[in-house]
Structure 1
Amino acid sequence: MTSQKYQLQLSGMSCAGCAKTIERALQEVNGVTSVNVNFANEVAAVEANNVTPQQLVDAVKGSGYDASVIDHSQPEADDPRERAQQIQFYKFIAAAILSTPLLYTMFGHFSWTSAVYVPDWLMNPWVQMALATPVQFVIGWQFYKGSYTALRGGAANMDVLVALGTSAAYFYSVYLAIFASEHVIHEGLYFETSAVLITLILLGKWFEARAKGRSSAAIKQLLNLQPKQALRERADGETEQVDVADLTVGDVIHIKPGQQVPADSEVISGNSAVDESMITGESVPVDKSKGSQLTGGTINKNGFLKAKVTKLGKDSALAQIIQVVEQAQNSKAPIQRLADQVSAIFVPVVLVIALITFLVWAFWYQPGDYGAALESTVAVLVIACPCALGLATPTSIMAGSGRAAQMGVLFKQSEVLEVAHTVTAMVLDKTGTITEGKPKLTDLELNLGELKQFSEAEVKAAIKALEQQSEHPLAQAIVNGIDEDAKVIDMTDFSAHEGRGVSALLHHDGTGVRILLGTQRLMQEQNVDCGNWLVRKDELEQQGKTAMLIGYDNQVIGIVAVADTVRKHAKQAITTLQQRGLKVIMITGDNQRTAEAIAKQVGITDIFAEVLPEHKAEHITKLREQGEIVAMVGDGINDAPALATAHVGIAMGTGTDVALETADIALMRTDLRSLVDALFVSEKTVRNIRQNLFWAFAYNTLGIPVAATGLLAPWLAGGAMALSSVSVVLNALRLQRLPIKHRS
């Protein structure tokens, strides 16, 4: 049974603990096979059998959070994350207005600020309570709600720490206001501590929400590429402007210069250059003519095109790219498991540390000074928030995979993003990967000598006419490579000599002469003298070309060579990979001599030649057994088993659907330098994750002891906690500016 995949937009999460609670709730739904909740972009990726989207939404709501199903084919007018971000901002503004007077009262508590005038009415405990109460229970209600949700689900999250810390400060101040003496009131009220803490945490969450929104910019940019309207041709030949959603497969559309291509389509008529940089990352426009494929969202530069719609909606190339990028961003990298394990036990441990801090201060270090004990305890509770830990990995994955997509490299899983840069052996399939995969005419040499009745142009036209009769793939390359008009040639008695070549009778001035094109064996069978042409044939074959002799009457008058040409920049890409320390290997079904000729052109010394398709995977397995971390790059159906066997399977974007489906990474360009981009992004992303995890761990490891010793005021702890989360996200966002290193 085919499983279904759903994406849910979540809201109400405050830290990685909330993500774990939602994961557990979704996993309990009967039929759900896998769940990944990404705290950074607040998305749950669910795979299930016989489960409706509403069941999943209900499960999330049952755990105390909110959810909606993501459907890119019907985009919402407003992004729920942007709405949540605006709400956080408005809450911060309201809290700041109410807490600023309370913050000002702090000048009256210290001898070194006694010169600053503080009105007596502002020091009144009931005025302070009136200012702090709406901040605590109206604006800060989200922390109590989040705490209840987490504790009901059997977990403790950031909201528990914030609610406990601020409540302790607030209710202790209420107690002092009601029962304590005036001196104690003026020296020990903590209304400003609770109010300013909530204000700073809200500011941090707003900054965090903004930064997290930027980390998912790649998806937004891809979604914005989707055109909204199209010019559709009616039955009477006139055009009408319609919504892209109203198009159907088979519709004929008109694309004017400067317009976006409305949908995946095939050119019927016209010539133009199309900017495909938003899909492939390649800045050079691609020429398009009749029969060319167009991708929805690309830009028609300078010519008029008429095209027939071939794919729409979820089947379109852009939709599939978005799906792959989201799949990578919503998956969980192995390196994140450590952070998840720590987060699961972090809050309970912090609560114990906070309790110990209070007891040590109140009964040993400064016995009876409950105010000082409370300050240190609140500081410990607040600074220990594990938000930075929960954001460290997913924000880097989102930013890294998004930047890779802009370069034309699609990582299908975050695990691959983590592993790719560790590859030690890169196995490249020859045909369609190192080479173009399409034979081209490379050499056509004639020596007509005493042959007077035909000009060189007529002989070329005859060769073209002869090969037009053949169905062999190499014949088409010769036909495409000769410009002369074959229609002027009078030819009869065509014969295809299986595995050896073709021949026909060429008529001129009432006489017929036999013309042949094929192997040395064909020439010998037909008693055609090859003369010195065999030496030239051997030279061409040493270069990896397929050479065929041209026989006229009883002598060879020329030679034609066809080759699968090496891709542009292939040598540069392979040299760069070798400079990175990779063992680069070419694998092919071609004979050893042809393989060596191609390998020599691109600088490869390790070759697996004459390998049958079904045996390619065996070579990958042998490399793995030798301790190599292997990446396999291919583009055909026969590469699929090898792609699946390698640690990292990489498919060229021009390859077959089977190869693309089997691979872990898809290259949208045929430029092999994209391999360098893939390794570069992987390396930088993993380094970025490690930086984030180090600083997140270091922050909590150093911050908690400092707070416990009383060296950190609670409001400073709140600011530091907010800053830690924002700094982790901003560090991850540096990945969005990664340069394309290999260009020169």
Structure 2
Amino acid sequence: MSGTVKSAATEDSGTRQVDLDIAGMTCASCVGRVERKLGKLEGVTATVNLPLEAAAVTVPASVSDEEVIAAVDRAGYSASIRRAPHDHTTTPAVTRPGHPTTIHGEVPSDGEHGTNHDHAGHEDYLNHGPSGDVVKPRLIGAAVLTIPLFLISMFPALQFPHWGWVALALATPVTFWAAWPFHTAAFKAARHGASTMDTLVSIGVLAAWGFSTAELLLEPVMTAHAGAAMSGGGMASMADHQLYFETAGVVTTFLLLGRWLEARAKKRAGHALKSLLDLGAKTATVLRDGVEVTVPAAQLVPGDEFVVRPGEKVATDGFVVSGHSAVDTSLITGESVPEEVGPEDTVTGATVNTSGRLLVRATRTGTDTTLAQMGRLVSDAQTGKAPIARLADRISAVFVPIVLVIAVITFALWLLLSGDLHAAFRAAVAVLVIACPCALGLATPIGLLAGTGRASQLGILIRGPEVLEDTRTVDTIVLDKTGTVTAGDLAVTSITPLNGHDADQVLRLAGAVESHSEHPIAAAITSAARGAAASAGTTLPGVDEFTSAAGGGVLGTVQHTAHAPHRVVAPLGAMGTTSAPKVPPHGDAQEDSGERGTRVHTVAAGRSSYIATQLDSGALTPLEEQQLADTEAAGATAIWVSVDGRVAGIISLQDTIKESSAPAITEFKRLGLRPILLTGDNAEVAAQVAAAVGISAEDVFAGVHPEDKVAKVTALQEAGRVVAMVGDGVNDAPALAQADLGIAMGSGTDVAREAADITVMGSSLGQVVQSMQLSRKTLGIIKSNLFWAFAYNTLGIPVAALGLLNPMLAGAAMAASSVLVVANSLRLTRFGR
């Protein structure tokens, strides 16, 4: 793969993939036109994604990148080769002499088509076309001017002498400056003999402004008198003369609102890769000639040896040369249990070293790392999504040309049959005004505002209207386990005391010695022990002679005082021993170590292999080994505790299941969804969790790696399923992007939330259920809005064409359709009440 251009290497088939950024697309017809133009090149196939303004193009060796870009240009749009977002941060500088590697640096231009755009950096590669920063000032300006324009035009009580000229002054900047994006898009489409929704918006706005201006210029004193009646010539009535400046202002303002919402959603979509890449380490401590040197992580090359101290991120993929530690891999795997690593064990870049010092030798750097490959997975999944069909655009693809033809026919017939140019023009303008898609443009953004406003009250964020369509047809919901169905935090779930010890004593002694370790498992045990001690009104005892064996366990001497008569538990029959425990009964001594009843014990806690070295016998018995196997089979992480050279008990830690999970699974089934559990954890844990929440055993897939999650979602889609994916970790991001509907838990990582279509801000699956229900209802409201907006226009067009509807009444009808759309959308505010 090129270090600067995101273009797949030549495959055995002789084809390559070229990813394009395409600027200027506004509707579904634009997508079809680009795909048709690219498809005319021999051997070229293309998938164009409207929300991302991107195309994934499969190109044979005989077709150059310049020919591909030229084809897009001929379709009326501009294109550039997309830069690989991850290349900017992960490509080693030593492979590109003279080109310093930066995170947000500029990228040199490639060729005459100028790929050196502002969006060359990965942080804003979607920020092309009319961005939110461009639309927002136009929207604000249009709103500021349209409000007084609407008031003085529609309410006679607010009118003053010659108010028409003030209306002209207010409407002119709205028509030509604020609505400029619509005019330019309509012009580009017209140049290629096409029309879009922008065409009708542009013509409608210009016609309303032009007709009103012509009327005012022909009768300069028509608004000389305040009130409903307008004077001029023979004091013509409003039916004969009317200004429609407010139509131009209202249409422009609401359509800009829709574009601004779209731009915001599109910009957020581009943050997924940035969040993913930002997880990587920025610097690395390289060992050169025995001296530690800090260098940018991007400069590492395979073979470099670097130091990773406790709390630091692993700079790149490699294997451990020396040292032992526990590595928190949750950023990559999503699993809460740290992985023990030692010499020759592999480690992954961006994971966190939690305890010991490691010396790691780099094996993969730059675009070959696991993190960079996950970035590619997210990018490919997003770009490869099928174009989202926007209902308003699909309607306008047929509606716009028909309206234009009807307006022309109306003008010609009136002129031919009546010979009255003024009447012909008025009838044609009435057709355009009644057909002007104010309600059609309002249908989606107003429905979205009402739905998302209510959703935000429920802690649910819906990215935009383009994500809602699949909620109606989703039939399968894939759930990540850790952090989604379960809490994602290790906690002590049970204590198995052995050889005469009681559970409280085992936890107290283990918590004391583990309190000196920074290991995540030690932290969970210490937290449980301190909680139990606080409940009893005591504190954990002190520890002396503490030692820690990396990857094994901890050892120390603990001064322990019993605060209640020691409860002797009969020795575990399976243990095969009747000897008295080494820990004698305690009296009612106080905490002071000098008082009677206080004993000093040698306490060890850790894995079975470590504990065996601390036992007088030198090994666990077969039945103790069976006890361990039974504990792990129940889905727990087992930590042994020994006291004075004998086994004292086992502390079990598990990731707890959320209370909301089982009811949510039941509701998913009621909604007709098939729940599937997908996890990187072992099969025993996955089966236990699935059984607890009500997921069928055949719908459980364990031991699944991040790239396999994408493959599983893809396989379900290829089998005809419409898939929603729910996750919270970085490892879920590619699958969230690949799914028809991605839903992220807000308690998870930023990358998961950015790759998802819907984010629930809490950690409850119950919110996921609500998000599905509200999304479906919002989509239904938007569809009904579109129907009524279209019906108003359709019914009004023939009336206007027959001359029975002057532009004044046409504007009133259009306003009525807008009121209906808004009222219908407000029904969403009552959802869930």
Pick the TM interval, shorter chain. Answer: 0.5 to 0.7
Once the 2 structures are TM-superposed, how far is the Cα of residue 116 of structure 1 from its aligned partner? 1.4
Secondary structure, counterpart of 2:282 in structure 1 = strand
Aligned to 1:28: 40
TM-score of the superposed pair, with normalisation by structure 1: 0.57
1:17–1:191 CA distance, 2 compared to 1 (3 A)? farther
Counterpart code for 2:35: E
Q: Percent identity?
A: 18
1:8–1:423 CA distance, 2 compared to 1 (3 A)? same
1:150–1:710 CA distance, 2 compared to 1 (3 A)? same
Aligned to 1:697: 787
Secondary structure, counterpart of 1:238 in structure 2 = strand
Once the 2 structures are TM-superposed, how far is the Cα of residue 6 of structure 1 from its aligned partner? 4.7
Q: How does 1:78-157 map to 2 (within 5 A)?
A: 79=124, 80-81=127-128, 84-88=131-135, 112=156, 116-118=160-162, 122=165, 143-157=182-196
Coordinate RMSD, CA, aligned: 7.3
Q: Are 1:272 and 1:304, in contact at CA under 8 Å, matched by a contact in 2?
A: no
Q: Are 1:85 and 1:206, in contact at CA under 8 Å, matched by a contact in 2?
A: no
The one of 340, 347, 366 equivalent to 2:400 is: 347
Q: Are 1:41 and 1:212, in contact at CA under 8 Å, matched by a contact in 2?
A: no
Once the 2 structures are TM-superposed, how far is the Cα of residue 189 of structure 1 from its aligned partner? 13
Q: CA-to-partner distance for each residue in 1:624-663, whole Å, 9 max, x for gaps?
A: xxxxxxx664434999789836635979979999999999
Counterpart code for 1:117: P
Aligned to 2:607: 480
1:566–1:191 CA distance, 2 compared to 1 (3 A)? farther
Q: How does 1:232-251 map to 2 (within 5 A)?
A: 232-234=284-286, 235=288, 236-240=290-294, 242=296, 244-248=297-301
Counterpart code for 1:382: C
Once the 2 structures are TM-superposed, how far is the Cα of residue 375 of structure 1 from its aligned partner? 4.7
Q: Distance in 1 between matches of 2:300 and 2:240?
A: 64
1:293–1:302 CA distance, 2 compared to 1 (3 A)? same
Secondary structure, counterpart of 1:581 in structure 2 = helix
Counterpart code for 2:261: A
Q: CA-to-partner distance for each residue in 1:672-713, whole Å, 9 max, x for gaps?
A: x89777666555444433332332332232355468445767
Once the 2 structures are TM-superposed, how far is the Cα of residue 247 of structure 1 from its aligned partner? 4.1
The one of 57, 70, 74 equivalent to 1:62 is: 74
Aligned to 1:422: 475
Once the 2 structures are TM-superposed, how far is the Cα of residue 63 of structure 1 from its aligned partner? 1.3
- Unmatched 5+ residue regions in structure 1? 400-405, 457-477, 492-505, 507-514, 521-535, 547-556, 588-593, 609-630, 740-744
The one of 431, 434, 444 equivalent to 1:377 is: 431
Q: CA-to-partner distance for each residue in 1:374-394, whole Å, 9 max, x for gaps?
A: 552231242268656798999
Q: Distance in 1 between matches of 2:250 and 2:686?
A: 66
Counterpart code for 1:42: E
Aligned to 1:208: 258
Q: Distance in 1 between matches of 2:615 and 2:355?
A: 36
Q: Distance in 2 between matches of 1:216 and 1:134?
A: 27
Q: Does 1:688 align with 2:778?
A: yes
Aligned to 1:332: 386
Q: CA-to-partner distance for each residue in 1:237-256, whole Å, 9 max, x for gaps?
A: 334353x5444455636678
Q: Are 2:318 and 2:361, in contact at CA under 8 Å, matched by a contact in 1?
A: yes
Aligned to 2:715: 644
Structure with a larger share of its residues in helix: 1
1:641–1:716 CA distance, 2 compared to 1 (3 A)? closer
Counterpart code for 2:162: V
Aligned to 1:159: 198
1:375–1:208 CA distance, 2 compared to 1 (3 A)? same
Once the 2 structures are TM-superposed, how far is the Cα of residue 117 of structure 1 from its aligned partner? 3.4
Secondary structure, counterpart of 2:35 in structure 1 = helix
Q: CA-to-partner distance for each residue in 1:410-452, whole Å, 9 max, x for gaps?
A: 9xx979954785349x8999xxx9999xxx9997967576777
Q: How does 1:380-459 map to 2 (within 5 A)?
A: 380-383=434-437, 418=471, 421-423=474-476
Counterpart code for 1:576: A
Once the 2 structures are TM-superposed, how far is the Cα of residue 85 of structure 1 from its aligned partner? 4.0
1:706–1:177 CA distance, 2 compared to 1 (3 A)? closer
Aligned to 2:641: none
Q: Does 1:43 align with 2:54?
A: yes
1:717–1:230 CA distance, 2 compared to 1 (3 A)? farther
Once the 2 structures are TM-superposed, how far is the Cα of residue 15 of structure 1 from its aligned partner? 3.5
Q: Are 2:408 and 2:428, in contact at CA under 8 Å, matched by a contact in 1?
A: no
Secondary structure, counterpart of 1:635 in structure 2 = coil
Secondary structure, counterpart of 1:484 in structure 2 = helix
Q: Are 1:230 and 1:262, in contact at CA under 8 Å, matched by a contact in 2?
A: yes
1:17–1:198 CA distance, 2 compared to 1 (3 A)? farther
Q: CA-to-partner distance for each residue in 1:342-361, whole Å, 9 max, x for gaps?
A: 34312123334545776899
Once the 2 structures are TM-superposed, how far is the Cα of residue 35 of structure 1 from its aligned partner? 1.3
Aligned to 1:523: none
Secondary structure, counterpart of 1:351 in structure 2 = helix
Q: Distance in 2 between matches of 1:415 and 1:114?
A: 42
- Unmatched 5+ residue regions in structure 2? 1-10, 89-103, 105-116, 222-231, 454-459, 500-570, 584-604, 637-645, 679-683, 749-762
Aligned to 1:510: none
Q: Are 2:412 and 2:424, in contact at CA under 8 Å, matched by a contact in 1?
A: no
